Structure 1
């Protein structure tokens, strides 16, 4: 007969809570935006203590001033409203200069988040703090035409060519952002694309996460799917060719 072991199991080490580095979320609000409510509600998915900066421009000042964030958001996070001149690059640079977090995360006002995306973001920041982080793009069903083609195209461009765009949620350390020169305020378009090439010239690791970041497709409904898709392809290739040549010359 075997006696039962009456000894108590060894004490288990306490489970350490996940580490969330200080993060500032920068949202440039353009004149075409009509609401901030969905994004502000989803920012509640962030761990407590994050900073949220809403940066308006002359055409969006009234919208930002009149928005009413959820009370729970104000209790968990620091929310600040900043005023900037016209231009997304100007707005984002101002937000980065005013940010207090170690990392800055640039989101469009129509971005849509998920718990998995937030989990992957902080896991990536902890594992690769010096990288440029972005996410897989998913268009909402408020557009026109086969938007799944555009989502797949953005994925292949990022995975194969290493060229994401700003609507994929660029996140990097504030120190690295300014070392790259910030967003080019003189560029007529594609300031996010130019920041990506500055990161590539400095051999900054691109961290492309599998979680999807939602975005609106309403511009495709307004301008026409085929016309806008071709225009975007022309613009980014036109801008990428001289940047690629500079990258080759620098090697």
Structure 2
């Protein structure tokens, strides 16, 4: 069983080198690393080319980029990892074990990188909510068998909330495998914009999405563009 990590990137040159260096241990275990650039204006492409198996370009947007990466990947299992998320080597062991036991898709617990106690509480709440609802976010390293991913048509082409939309489709087919050890995702947004403000914004966006708001408008609110 071959695993392909699909990583969408955009203007990540400053941090991407260190992230890719950490992923070389997984590549040494046979994991394919596919980087999908969405039109970076910095040195992201040059940095990515030096540390991945396959470099793909696609229009900007995580859903579009991840679908393009999935189409180029060769693995039996597609593992979608954000550029600001760290993947420990034991996570690969857990994923292979879960797939060997029949898991069709799943996600990992997450840990936020900052040391502030509220961030630990937030991560715990995210993990618990995901276990209860069967919904995963992109920070949680969502993985899915290629055959199933292709059968459902990949990520819905949404400007935002594509991970929630995909999870909702997948959980109607099978419950997710909720795995440990946790992946470590950057807390930079929380620290930059304020923890309370970020929590409120994310819940407002999710509520608006549940009410049928246009994902393109939600994206503008999330990124401020």
TM-score range normalised by the length of the shorter chain: 0.7 to 0.9
Equivalent residue, structure 2, for 1:208: 178
Equivalent residue, structure 2, for 1:229: 199
CA contact (8 A) 2:12 2:83 kept: no
Larger Rg: 1
CA contact (8 A) 1:22 1:50 kept: yes
Give the count of matched residue pairs: 211
Q: TM-score, normalised by structure 2?
A: 0.85
Give the CA deviation at 1:31. Answer: 3.0
Aligned: 1:63 with 2:37: no
SS at match of 2:160: coil
Give the CA deviation at 1:158. Answer: 1.1
Give the CA deviation at 1:69. Answer: 4.2
Question: Which of 5, 10, 19 is the matching residue for 1:30?
Answer: 10
Aligned: 1:176 with 2:157: no
Work out the CA distance in 1 between the residues paired with 2:136 and 2:121. 16
Question: Which of 119, 130, 136 is the matching residue for 1:164?
Answer: 136
Aligned: 1:93 with 2:67: yes
CA contact (8 A) 1:29 1:60 kept: no
**CA RMSD, Structure 1 to Structure 2 (Å):** 2.2
CA contact (8 A) 1:53 1:95 kept: yes
Aligned: 1:140 with 2:110: no
Structure 2: tracts of 5 or more residues without a match: 213-225
Equivalent residue, structure 1, for 2:82: 108
Work out the CA distance in 2 between the residues paired with 1:119 and 1:52. 16
SS at match of 2:14: coil
Report the CA distance shift for 1:150/1:60 in structure 2 as closer, same or farther (over 3 A). farther
